[in-house]
Amino acid sequence: MASSFEFPKKIFAKSVYHNVPGYINVKWSDGHVGEYPISWLESHQLPSDLEMSNKVLTFRKFSHSYNKKFHPCVEFEEVMNTNEGLTKWLQYVISWGYCLVKGVPVTPEATKKLLERIAFIRETHYGGFWDFTSDLTFKDSAYTDEALDAHTDNTYFSDPARLQLFHLLEHTGGEGGTTLLVDGFYAAYRMLVERPRSVEALTDYAHPWHSSGNEDVSIQPYRYFPVFEREPTNARLLRIRWNNYDRAAKIDWTPTMAMQWYGAARYWNAIIRRENQTQKWLQLEPGTALLFDNWRMLHGRSAFTGKRRMCGGYKS
């Protein structure tokens, strides 16, 4: 087998022809003739959506619905017993950003098996699979009964978890706790249409993030990250980091940068609060699990009273 590093630096194709249907022959400048399947060449050419872009932000194809009553949904038995059901579940998450699973047995054991149907559960400083109430076991806003604004999780990790699952096991003696979902990709698209200069600030200015609620926990990414993370070649939106509770102090921004970023952040915050355009509220119930893309969907909840028990976990 020839070493690729021994090929001439200025090698080039002298001629291209085909003798066999479905194959292309290339005669190279060093005399070598290679035969390549056309199907292989087609599958390995640079896709148009990966070509270099001078745009501030681009988007992959995704689905968004204004219908507040519409929620993509699959059945537990279908997901657990068929690969087609599992594929359907994940495809809905890719397309819509989230998906409900109906008919889940109301136990942490069944919920864990549902989560493991995809892959292994990601361990964090909260453990692996959660099963918690609002008792402040961890000094985190999620472990209270307070309302939570729309946010993404794990902003303080270098690699935030991609998927997150919730299953409400119990809510007695009270009310509230309605789940909020915001399609971050659609919100970013609206911002690009309405105020592109603000998108530049949230894309270009990297921000410090941290988690320091517990005395024995202090987590920061290995570097600063912007609110909108893009693919380096085509500027396609890859991931959103947004959690007002996790923002750390900035020490290397000029006054101009700070003014631009805070102006953009204020506008972004207004967009994700638009009840008739970006927000969806749904009341989770025992037996229905919610899986969503933490890189795309922001989530929150309304305040609640009574005893509420929730379980779930993260996926990378």
pLDDT at 48: 63
The predicted model scores a pTM of 0.84
Q: How far apart are CA 90 and CA 185, in angstroms?
A: 18
State the burial class of residue 109 (Cβ atoms within 10 Å of its Cβ: 0-12, 13-18, 19+).
exposed
**For the domain 55-316, what is the CATH code?**
3.60.130.10
The string of pLDDT tens digits covering residues 62-118 is 999 989 889 999 999 999 999 999 999 999 999 999 999 999 999 999 999 999 999
The string of pLDDT tens digits covering residues 158-208 is 999 999 999 999 999 999 999 999 999 999 999 999 999 999 999 999 999
pLDDT at 304: 94
pLDDT at 150: 97
* Rounded percentage of the chain residues whose pLDDT exceeds 90: 76
Q: How far apart are CA 264 and CA 268, in angstroms?
A: 6
**Would you say how long the chain is, in residues?**
316
Q: What is the mean pLDDT of residues 295-303?
A: 97
Cβ-based neighbours of 276, under 8 Å, separated by 6 or more: 66
Judged against a pLDDT cut of 80, whether residue 50 lies above it is answered with no
Judged against a pLDDT cut of 90, whether residue 287 lies above it is answered with yes
pLDDT at 44: 86
Going by pLDDT thresholds of 50, 70 and 90, the confidence category of residue 268 is very high
- pLDDT: which is higher, 298 or 140: 298
Structure tokens at 126: 């909260």
pLDDT at 233: 86
Judged against a pLDDT cut of 90, whether residue 139 lies above it is answered with no
Q: How far apart are CA 260 and CA 281, in angstroms?
A: 31
Q: How far apart are CA 307 and CA 174, in angstroms?
A: 7
Judged against a pLDDT cut of 60, whether residue 295 lies above it is answered with yes
Going by pLDDT thresholds of 50, 70 and 90, the confidence category of residue 31 is confident
User: Domain coordinates of the chain in residue numbers?
Assistant: 4-45, 55-316
Cβ-based neighbours of 298, under 8 Å, separated by 6 or more: 150, 151, 152, 180, 181, 182, 184, 187, 240, 242, 272
